[in-house]
Amino acid sequence: MRYQDVHHLSVSNPRFFWRQKMNLIKWFEEPKEILTRGPNGLYKWFEGGVLNTCYLALDYHVDHGRGRQVALYYDSASAHLKRSYTYRELRDEVAKFAGVLRNQGVEKGDRVIIYMPMVAEAVISMLACARLGAVHSVVFGGFAPHELAVRIDDAKPKLLITASCGLEFNRVIEYKPLVDAALDEAQFPPQKVIVFPRPQATATMVEGRDLDWHDLMHHAQPVDCVPVQATDPLYILYTSGTTGKPKGVVRDNGGHAVALKYSMKTVYNTNPGEVFWAASDVGWVVGHSYIVYGPLIHGCTTVLFEGKPVRTPDAGSFWRVIQDYGVAAFFTAPTAFRAIKKEDPDAHLRRQYDISTLRTLYLAGERLDPPTHEWLNQVLDVPIVDHWWQTETGWPIVANPMGLDPHRVKVGSATFAVPGFKVEVLDENGAPVAANETGNICLKLPLPPGCLPTLWNDEEGFRNSYLKSFEGYYHTADGGYLDEDGYLFVMGRTDDVINVAGHRLSTGEMEELIGAHAAVAECAVVGIDDELKGQVPIGLVVLKDGADKDEAAIEAELVDVIRNEIGAVAAFRKAIVVPRLPKTRSGKILRKTIRRLAVEEQIVVPPTIDDPAIIAEIRTALRKHRVGQYARLPLGDDDAEGM
């Protein structure tokens, strides 16, 4: 079928469409209803259906002839360690660790916090929880103790699983002291802590509470999958909230399994038996959906990589992994390739590896800027697919459907809505805007299967965060536009559309122009409060290694670019060269933090930040260039030296 026909059916008759797609997975008992709406007005998918997600990811494949196929390649560039697990081996490890959890009193519906680095045991822990019908909540390893404590108190777990340490470049990050501090702070600490020991650090164990992974596995017996309802929660994944209280995104079992199974072929065009690699972390939604559950439910081989795109050991690490495991589909964030481009702008390292198995490259997590897209097209001879989704949806909203009906690429666009999603761009009054006019990107209700049905113990917060702004719609909080052909261009969070003297301008458009400069590796444009114009944009740029002009000359050229391409109305007068940009550990640029640094004396360092030391670097750069609150400070010796 053509894309237009499939998409029209999916949004005009979602019950019929998803009744067909539910047969993609094996149910213990088929659903009694496809789509229902409760008295609270919230939707549920596949009510009455009974299944087990771990069974779909492991046991089903063992029972149907894939027991000897590799399910998981574990590759730690940081620890110089490799291991593979067949479907049978992974099932047996998961069944045994589920026995460990059961011996510690974990039952269906109990919550388990997983605070782990990128080790195979993190995947085993997640699947073992799913096997028991327990609800896992993975917290990104290395989060500060307070952030871990907040999530513990919200989820109220029976048990916490951690490791002695994580590895980042040449640093060893000890986890156990962070866990101990979090448990001291938490009001509802778990009864037990299971610690997976790594040779790079020794954990100090608390007698009577802390338990060694290997000791427990030595005495455990495997357990079978526990049947759960389709509407029962599989996991909670916390995402930052605007109030400072993390939002616990809930993922159900039934809708999640159906949506991910459907997406693996429709969006990613992968077949059972092929190797799929998502270079993310299990602590983020990409890790949940496309390192663990999606590829395994589909019968693919997945790759778990503990390393970085650069410095583990160099900017060829991604090419090496693709070669070593025969990766067919690769998924990462644009920022990873900007890092590679910065260190290896001519892609010399790419030519050292045979990556002929790679069929498609998928990019998401942030906007794919045209300069990076162009560079990738020069480096690779495969389709480059930009797609867009959120933690809350759990799978792609907009993509070029490579397994259905691929479309012509428009650089800067994530293409069309994936079947199941009805995407509209609305003005502040909830009316659709004209083609090429920027507005609020919203999704017509009901959301398809796989999306969050609510927030954990916070139905009111769910309504206020997502459903209140536009009646009958889920508000993505992203801004963008649909062009005359229906292609969606996502320009960033709605608070990244700035108002300069009454003119609404896109910082995303300015970033495109700046990023196209030959000397720029990556950039961020943010709006700073201005007494006269309301807001004015500033740009922070990181230069490519070996840029052959001085910083002042490049800064002047970038100001001229915006003036020439957008006009004086943009009031863009400051482009500031910085050594690096503040980012989350998953690679997203912290634009909100940059804005706050410009206007506030003291800010709370975001718990997601990659390296807190960068805050001082950015503050110094803003002060040196007289930005925001620093514009009115008298010049002094410190300022002359740039602090």
**Domain for residue 360, yes or no?**
no
d(CA 204, CA 175): 10
Q: 230 near 45, Cβ under 8 Å?
A: yes
DSSP 55: I
- How far apart are alpha carbons 474 and 620 in whole angstroms? 40
The predicted-structure confidence for 159-173, as pLDDT tens digits, reads as follows 999 999 999 888 999
The torsion angle over the Cα atoms of residues 596, 598, 604 and 608, rounded to 10 degrees, is: 70
pLDDT at residue 3 tops 50? yes
87 close to 58: Cβ distance less than 8 angstroms: yes
Distances 242 to 23, 144, 174, 462, 592 between C-alpha atoms, Å = 39, 19, 30, 12, 11
Strand partners, 235: 136, 251
The per-residue pLDDT for 492 is 72
Structure confidence at residue 267 (pLDDT): 98
Residue 415 DSSP label: B
Q: Are residues 205 and 287 in the same domain?
A: yes
**Mean pLDDT, residues 183-207 taken together:** 97
Under the banding of pLDDT at 50, 70 and 90, the label for residue 639 is very low
- The tens digit of pLDDT for each residue in 330-344 reads 999 988 998 899 999
Do 448 and 513 have their domain in common?
Answer: no
524 lies in the same domain as 449: no
Q: How long is the chain?
A: 643
- More confident position, 359 or 505: 359
399-428: burial string, b at 16+ Cβ within 10 Å, e else: bbbbbbbebebeebbbbbbbbbbbbbbbee
| Domain co-membership, 543 together with 572 | yes
SS3 365: coil
**Which residue among 428, 447, 481 closes a domain?**
481
Whether residue 125 is predicted with pLDDT greater than 80 in this model: the reply is yes
Looking at residue 497, what is its pLDDT? 62
pLDDT in tens, 63-72: 999 999 999 9
Whether residue 327 is contained in a domain is answered as no
Examine residue 383 and say whether the peptide bond preceding it is cis (omega within 30 degrees of 0). Answer: no
pLDDT at residue 632, rounded to an integer: 63
* Residues 451, 531 within the same domain: no
Q: What is the pLDDT of residue 637?
A: 36
Give the pLDDT of residue 536. 86
Percentage of the chain with pLDDT > 90? 75
- pLDDT band at 243; cut points 50, 70, 90: very low
- Facing residues of 249 across strands? 237, 455
User: Quick check: 366 pLDDT over 90?
Assistant: no
Q: What is the pLDDT of residues 585-604, one digit of tens each?
A: 777 788 888 888 888 877 87
Choose one of 481, 512, 537: the last residue of a domain: 481
Helix (H, G, I), strand (E, B) or coil at 591: helix
The DSSP annotation for 167-222 comes to: EETTEEEE-HHHHHHHHHH-SS--SEEEEE-BTTB-PPPPTTTEEEHHHHHHH---
Higher pLDDT, 215 or 499: 215
In this prediction, residues 510-516 reach a mean pLDDT of 89
Q: What number is the average pLDDT over the span 354-361? A: 98
Q: What is the CATH number of the domain that holds 528?
A: 3.30.300.30
Q: Is residue 463 part of a domain?
A: yes
> Three-class SS string for 215-283?
HHHHHCCCCCCCCEECCCEEEEEEECCCCCCCEEEEEECHHHHHHHHHHHHHCCCCCCCCEEEECCCCC
Provide mean pLDDT across the span 50-78: 98
Residues 65 and 151 in one domain: yes
- Reported confidence tier of residue 119, pLDDT bands at 50, 70, 90: very high
Asked if residue 349 belongs to a domain, the reply is no
pLDDT of res. 19: 98
**Domains identified in the chain, total number:** 2
- What CATH number has the domain bearing residue 52? 3.40.50.12780
Instruction: Decide if 613 is inside a domain.
Output: yes
pLDDT tens digits along 457-469: 999 999 999 999 9
Which of 152-173 are b and which e, b meaning 16 or more Cβ less than 10 Å from the residue's Cβ?
bebbbbbbbbbbbbbbbeeeee
pLDDT higher than threshold 50 for residue 442: yes
Rounded Cα–Cα distance for residues 478 and 474 (Å): 11
Residues 546 and 466 in one domain: no
Residue 142 has pLDDT above 80, yes or no: no
User: How many Å apart are CA 70 and CA 86, to the nearest integer?
Assistant: 4
> Does 223 lie in the same domain as 135?
yes
Is a pLDDT exceeding 80 seen at residue 130? yes
Residue 18 placed within a domain: yes
The reply to whether 609 falls in a domain is: yes
Better pLDDT: 18 or 626: 18
What per-residue confidence (pLDDT) applies to 539? Answer: 94
Same domain flag for 619 and 472: no
**Phi/psi-derived region of residue 450, left when phi > 0, alpha when psi is between -120 and 50, beta in every other case:** left
Tell me the chain's radius of gyration from C-alpha atoms: 24
Average per-residue pLDDT for the chain: 92
When pLDDT is cut at 50, 70 and 90, the band that residue 570 belongs to is confident
Residue 223 scores a pLDDT above 70: yes
- Give the residue, 634 or 209, on which the prediction is more confident: 209
**Shared domain check, 427 and 530:** no
The answer to whether residues 555 and 407 belong to one domain is no
Domain encompassing residue 627: 501-640
Average pLDDT of the segment spanning 396-425? 96
Cβ(551)–Cβ(577) below 8 Å: yes
Whether 232 and 111 map to the same domain: the answer is yes
User: Whole-angstrom Cα distance, residue 365 to residue 200?
Assistant: 31
Whether 73 maps to a domain, the answer reads yes
Alpha-carbon span 514 to 520, nearest angstrom: 7
Q: How many helices (H) and strands (E) does the chain have?
A: 21, 31
What mean pLDDT do residues 50-68 have? Answer: 98
- The label of the residue with tokens 């996991």 reads 235
Residue 563: how many CB atoms within 10 A of its CB?
15
**Between the CA of residue 512 and those of 372, 386, 415, 429, what are the distances in Å?**
10, 15, 18, 29
Of 481, 516, 533, the one marking the end of a domain is: 481
